[in-house]
Amino acid sequence: MSSTYARFDTVFLLSRFAGAKYSPLWPSSSSSSSSSSHSSLLSSGTHLRAKPNSRLRSVTAASSGPIIAGSESIEIKSLPTKPIEGQKTGTSGLRKKVKVFMQDNYLANWIQALFNSLPLEDYKDATLVLGGDGRYFNKEASQIIIKIAAGNGVGKILVGQEGILSTPAVSAVIRKRKANGGFIMSASHNPGGPEYDWGIKTVDDDESPNLSDPYINFQFNYSSGQPAPESITDKIYGNTLSISEIKVAEIPDIDLSHVGVTKYGNFSVEVIDPVSDYLELMEDVFDFDLIRGLLSRSDFGFMFDAMHAVTGAYAKPIFVDNLGAKPDSISNGVPLEDFGHGHPDPNLTYAKDLVDVMYRDDGPDFGAASDGDGDRNMVLGNKFFVTPSDSVAMIAANAQEAIPYFRAGPKGLARSMPTSGALDRVAEKLKLPFFEVPTGWKFFGNLMDAGKLSICGEESFGTGSDHIREKDGIWAVLAWLSILAHRNKDKKPGEKLVSVADVVNEYWATYGRNFFSRYDYEECESEGANKMIEYLRDIVAKSKAGENYGNYVLQFADDFSYTDPVDGSVASKQGVRFVFTDGSRIIFRLSGTGSAGATVRIYIEQFEPDVSKHDVDAQIALKPLIGSFLSCIVCIKAEGVYREGEAHCHYMREKTILCHMVLMKGELGS
Ligand code: VG1
Ligand code: CO
């Protein structure tokens, strides 16, 4: 038992629940297996009923919504448990197969370990937000999280109706209602259902440098100078390895189907409408009248694919009811537990139905899709795909004139390291502060809180701004619609409209084009993947500026390290990069979001200022770089470790003849 835990326990007993009956052990009642050395919250706790003598009562409506029912006090039980291996968070929280999470106490242990890791003042009587993308197991998970939160002395949980809240909406709710933090039940773009993934989004791994991420590290920590989150996530992991007890409130399952407040003693749960706070924020950021003018034109076609994921709950209220889009412009608009057997990843392969419609001659003028939890976006014009690296640069270049929130001009711009350098050129031209941060949205937060950053993005279909502290899929769609609406606002019916392709081509002509692609080697054996990165680090250590790699001259090679300009914290080993004198780059890193094995990501970029070459397909434009670099470095120098093979192009999911190494399961390191 850690000292944090002991300290917490004492305070817990003496203050918040003074007087409440505290059982040192999980009761040997019929529902739990008293004979075993640990008990399951999933098998017993989720079906916890109010203690027989608790008096439910109806009470009058409160300002925040009708109070449905409540009881005067809650009983806190202690559920014995045992440590479970492997509960370490990655780029975006803890992500595993749902079957793993459904194991006895797996989720409960982790949630308790989280509370054990935080100072009491961070959650005692605090308000926390709980939401998710509607995937399989979220309903059961909601009940587990609520009961443990109550058991640990949290004052109030704001939960989206049916457990639904997109990731950006959770951030918006936390900020608007000044909540102390929140949980997001999502494995993002990973598929859902009994055989697939589940996740809980939190702050990143042990190298996270900031406290502004609204999850688990609780925003108010930031201003009061509490320990850095890497220490918190480290602590959570440490606590998962020593946990012996889970604190659970003995309350019934909360009815998540109706908006309203349920009270149990000093603890309350408010079920909130998932859309209203977020919609209100969008109305502040954008000019809805301007966008409505575009969407209601008969000569402008719009299509949004919610991929049966969380934005299904937002698309109709926002695009149809508020902005005048036609009801049939929303496809797959109902959130489903298994995303309709789909893979809620908005790229050219998994949003294929949308792509097919958009690539028809008579297809719509603008199309977009969003991922499982609504923080990613894909933007398409008619027969035109905008890469995420280009998209953020184009939004930044047009923001001031088209989006009211940026009327005074963006404060600064930032991208993740592997994202193409297109945004850098916008920052240079607009003379704006510019930052390059490691992969993962949390790194943008400190910069935003310090007033240094307004618009940022990642190559992985993530775009956003400082209106919240998460990437935001619907925000990106509204940003693009604003740009198009602004450009077309004076166009008469029948006049040719400025298209997505026009905006992009004009941008390339002004700034040049950064050809960019990413390739993923999925389900690699972890040991082999680590070996490969070690091997590349070795090459980096020996490399010298001026060396020739085919026709490319090395400017520098390193393993990316980031020092946060706000708090000075350092994140190291964030990706091996080779940068050439013409601005071309090749980057290697391991994914931190997979649910099984390792995924190797390779990012390739080449800058082309010549407008006559901007029309070339990215795969063709990048071929010389891929060929000369990878053949000479990886395949020859690492001979024996890497062999010929195929990777998947991140955007197309097509098998691509790329660096010709096989990292697939079992084939490496033998
Ligand atoms: C991936 C992306 C990264 C993104 C992260 C979370 O991480 O590359 O850019 O921030 O997913 O996105 P990794 O470590 O697998 O490369 V989401 O939509 O899952 O919150
Ligand atoms: Co996501």
Q: Are 307 and 342 in contact, with CB atoms under 8 Å apart?
A: yes
**Cα-to-centroid distance, 472 and ligand 2 (Å):** 9
Nearest alpha carbon, ligand 1 atom 13:
591
Q: What distances in angstroms separate CA 183 from CA 47, 139, 353, one per listed residue? A: 21, 13, 32
Residue 518, ligand 1, Cβ within 6 A: no
What does the pLDDT read at residue 589? 92
For residues 44 and 445, the model is more confident at 445
Using pLDDT thresholds of 50, 70 and 90, give the confidence band for residue 597: confident
Distance CA 144, CA 628 (A): 53
Residue 96, ligand 1, Cβ within 6 A: no
Residue 441, ligand 1, Cβ within 6 A: yes
Residue 601, ligand 1, Cβ within 6 A: yes
Query: What percent of the chain lies above the pLDDT cut of 70?
Result: 77
Q: Are 490 and 297 in contact, with CB atoms under 8 Å apart?
A: no
Tell me the pLDDT tens digit for each residue of 49-93: 223 233 322 222 333 445 555 566 789 999 999 999 999 877 667
The minimum-distance atom of ligand 1 relative to the CA of 90 is 14
Beta strands in 21-176 (DSSP E): 22-23, 67-71, 76-80, 94-97, 127-132, 156-160
Give the catalytic positions in this structure.
188
Residue 460, ligand 1, Cβ within 6 A: yes
pTM for the model stands at 0.85
How large is the average pLDDT for residues 405-427?
98
H/E run at residue 169: helix 167-176
**Cα-to-centroid distance, 374 and ligand 2 (Å):** 6
Which residues, in sequence order, are CB contacts of 220 under 8 Å at separation 6+? 122, 180
Distance CA 502, CA 507 (A): 8
What does the pLDDT read at residue 344? 96
pLDDT exceeds cutoff 50 at 208: no
For residues 527 and 99, the model is more confident at 99
pLDDT exceeds cutoff 80 at 11: no
Distance CA 590, CA 601 (A): 6
How large is the average pLDDT for residues 238-249?
96
Residue 487, ligand 1, Cβ within 6 A: no
For residues 43 and 167, the model is more confident at 167
Q: Are 399 and 533 in contact, with CB atoms under 8 Å apart?
A: no
Tell me the pLDDT tens digit for each residue of 467-515: 999 999 999 999 999 999 999 999 999 999 999 999 999 999 999 999 9
Tell me the pLDDT tens digit for each residue of 272-298: 999 999 999 999 999 999 999 999 999
Nearest partner of 269 among 143, 107, 132, judged by Cα: 143
pLDDT exceeds cutoff 90 at 323: yes
Nearest alpha carbon, ligand 1 atom 4:
440
Tell me the pLDDT tens digit for each residue of 564-585: 999 898 999 999 999 999 989 9
The minimum-distance atom of ligand 1 relative to the CA of 440 is 10
For residues 551 and 632, the model is more confident at 551
Using pLDDT thresholds of 50, 70 and 90, give the confidence band for residue 432: very high
Nearest alpha carbon, ligand 1 atom 17:
188
pLDDT exceeds cutoff 60 at 587: yes
Mean pLDDT value across the chain:
81
What does the pLDDT read at residue 521? 75
**Cα-to-centroid distance, 371 and ligand 2 (Å):** 6
Residue 514, ligand 1, Cβ within 6 A: no
Q: Exposed, middle or buried: residue 361 (CB in 10 Å: 0-12, 13-18, 19+)? A: exposed
CA dihedral sign, ordered 328, 333, 338, 344: positive
Please choose from 460, 560, 603 the residue to mutate so as to test ligand 1's pocket, defined by most ligand atoms within 8 A of CB: 460
pLDDT exceeds cutoff 80 at 202: no
CA 212 to mean position of chain CA atoms = 14
Using pLDDT thresholds of 50, 70 and 90, give the confidence band for residue 617: confident
Q: What distances in angstroms separate CA 305 from CA 331, 643, 654, one per listed residue? A: 5, 39, 21
How large is the average pLDDT for residues 94-107?
94
Please choose from 468, 593, 601, 603 the residue to mutate so as to test ligand 1's pocket, defined by most ligand atoms within 8 A of CB: 593
Strands 156-160, 267-272: pairing kind: parallel
What does the pLDDT read at residue 630? 57
Residue 311, ligand 1, Cβ within 6 A: no
Distance CA 121, CA 435 (A): 33
In this structure, which ligand is nearest to the CA of 462? Answer: 1
- Residue 78, SS3? strand
For residues 616 and 72, the model is more confident at 616
Instruction: Report residue 134 as tokens.
Output: 């509607």
Distance CA 373, CA 165 (A): 8
What does the pLDDT read at residue 370? 98
